[in-house]
Amino acid sequence: MQIAFCVHPHLATANEQRALAEQWLAAQGVESVAVNTDHLLIDSCEFTKLTEQTRDISLVCALGGDGTILRATRLAYAAQVPLLGINFGNLGFLSGASAKALFPALEAFLAGELHEDCRVVLKAEALFSDGSTATHTALNEVLLGRSLLGKVIVVDISVNGYPLPSPRGDGVIVATATGSTAYAHSAGGPLLTPDNQGLCIVPVSGLGFSAAALVSAPSDIIRLSVQEHTDQHPLLFIDGQPLNSDESDTFISSVAITKAERDMVFLRYDTPDFYTRIARSLAGGSHAR
């Protein structure tokens, strides 16, 4: 058995705890490996090599805030292993254990006693202007947004080939239930329970009736594209990471978004239920999970 630790490089406390956890695991006869979270970015050329080096892992353990945990899901999903997030950040919506529970949570994992939460993952198939394509997965959301400040874009939306009103604004988010508590929520989208299988379509700073959010069915195919008359190239973001640059010779023509074939498995130790977390978050609590 081998455990991969993904730690925010600038969180001293988290790195100190990782080092102690590695020593504790070694005493239990369990191997561990530290992963540089910079290698988990979409544009990292090291990611493929990293997945080869960690193909024998049984768990990804992320120490940090939601951003660190979100990056770590790329490795866990590629390796088809569960992820245990230890909250060293603020809200901690993606975490499965508090910082003080790191060692009890690892002990519970070795004993097979952690609770599993299965989360929907998005599959985004992007088509570029030169005819090339790229496919990525996202735990939280996909955003097709504007590249120029001060100028709106008009995004054409279709579901299963049926067109919806085209919102004018900053772009459109397609989010999972997990992502409904993140950017989609700040853009005015609804909160979905973690086991909800639908996808949430949320215009960002949209104008008029077309700005209404919509929750699709799990089997729906959502396609986003920017109208050709726009004077800017759209940018595509996968879980907050840009997939293309406005300065590039090619740009995003459209993106088809569906529910991925596999879910992401999160492990939970001492975190409360979804409604308690939401209540704490909305009340201004610093630890939502």
Catalytic amino acids? Answer: 66
Rounded Cα gap, residues 128 and 110, in angstroms: 45
Q: How many CA atoms lie within 13 A of 241 on its CB side?
A: 20
CA of residue 14 relative to chain centroid, distance:
21
Sheet holding 241-242, edge to edge: 214-215, 200-204, 171-175, 141-145, 235-238, 241-242
Inter-CA distances, 171 with 42, 139, 147, 150, 174, Å: 21, 19, 10, 13, 10
The Cα–Cα gap between 40 and 51 comes to 10
Closest CA to 21 of 113, 93, 101, 136: 101
CA–CA distance, 289 with 282 (Å, rounded to integer): 12
CB neighbour list of residue 255: distance below 8 Å, 6 or more residues apart: 124, 125, 126, 127, 142, 144, 223, 224, 225, 236
Alpha helices in the chain (DSSP H): 12-27, 47-53, 66-79, 102-110, 183-186, 274-282
Phi-psi region of 200 (alpha: psi -120 to 50; beta: other; left: phi over 0): beta
